[in-house]
Amino acid sequence: MLNGEYGEVIRKCMEILVKIGDIYNADKLIPIESAQIAGVSYLTVGDAIFSFFRMLTKEPVKVKVPTWLNPAGMDMRQWKYMNINEQFANKQLKIINTYKKLGIETTLSCTPYLIGKIPKQGSHLAWSESSAIAMANSYFGAKTNREGGPSSLAAAITGLTANYGLHIDENRNPIVYVKVESELNTYSDFALLGYWYGEKFHGKIPLFSGINDFSVIPAKYLSSAIAASGSVALYHVEGKTPESKEVSKQYVEESIVFDDIERKEVIEKLQTRLKEIELVVIGCPHVGIEELDLILSYCKDKELKKGTKLWVFMARALMERKEVAERIRKLAEKNIRIFSDTCMVVSPAIRENFTKIATNSAKAYFYLSMVENMEVVFLSLKEILEQICK
Binding site for ligand F3S (CB under 6 A): 70-71, 110, 129, 131, 224, 284-286, 313, 343, 345-346, 363-364
Half-sphere exposure of 51 (CA within 13 A, CB side): 3
Q: How far is the CB of 333 from ligand F3S (least distance, A)?
A: 25
Residue whose CB is less far from ligand F3S, 110 or 176:
110
Q: Between 166 and 364, whose beta carbon lies closer to ligand F3S? A: 364
* Closest CB to ligand F3S among residues 160, 338: 338
Please state, as a whole number, how many other Cβ atoms lie within 10 Å of the Cβ of residue 210.
Answer: 16
What does each C-alpha distance from 110 to 40, 41, 62, 150, 274 come to in angstroms? 11, 12, 22, 17, 28
The CA distance from 169 to 30, in Å, is 14
Residue with Cβ nearer ligand F3S (13 or 69): 69
Pairing of strands 254-258, 176-180: parallel
Give the shortest CB-332-to-ligand F3S separation in angstroms: 21
Query: What's the min distance (Å) between Cβ of 110 and ligand F3S?
Result: 3
Minimum CB–partner distance for residue 84 and ligand F3S (Å): 16
Closest distance of CB 58 from ligand F3S, Å: 29
CA atoms within 13 A on the CB side of 251: 12
What is the rounded (10 degree) CA torsion for 102, 103, 106, 107? -130
Give the CA dihedral 376, 381, 383, 388, nearest 10 degrees: 70
CA-closest candidate to residue 366, choices 232, 269, 276, 260: 269
Cβ closest to ligand F3S, residue 176 vs residue 234: 234
Give min distance, CB of 85 to ligand F3S, in A. 21
* CB-side neighbour CA atoms (13 Å) of 276: 8
Nearer to ligand F3S by Cβ, of 145 and 224: the residue is 224
Nearer to ligand F3S, 14 or 338 (CB): 338
The least distance separating ligand F3S from the CB of residue 24, rounded to whole angstroms, comes to 25
- Nearer to ligand F3S by Cβ, of 208 and 311: the residue is 311
Edge-to-edge strands of the sheet including 206-209?
236-237, 206-209, 176-180, 254-258
DSSP secondary structure string for all residues of 194-221: HHHHHHHSTTPPEEEES-----HHHHHH
- CB 271 within 8 Å of CB 188: no
Q: How far is the CB of 131 from ligand F3S (least distance, A)?
A: 4
- Distance separating alpha carbons of residues 33 and 381, to the nearest angstrom: 35
Q: Which lies closer to ligand F3S via its Cβ, residue 176 or residue 357? A: 357
Q: How far is the CB of 223 from ligand F3S (least distance, A)?
A: 9
Which residues does residue 236 pair with via DSSP β-bridges, in sequence order? 207
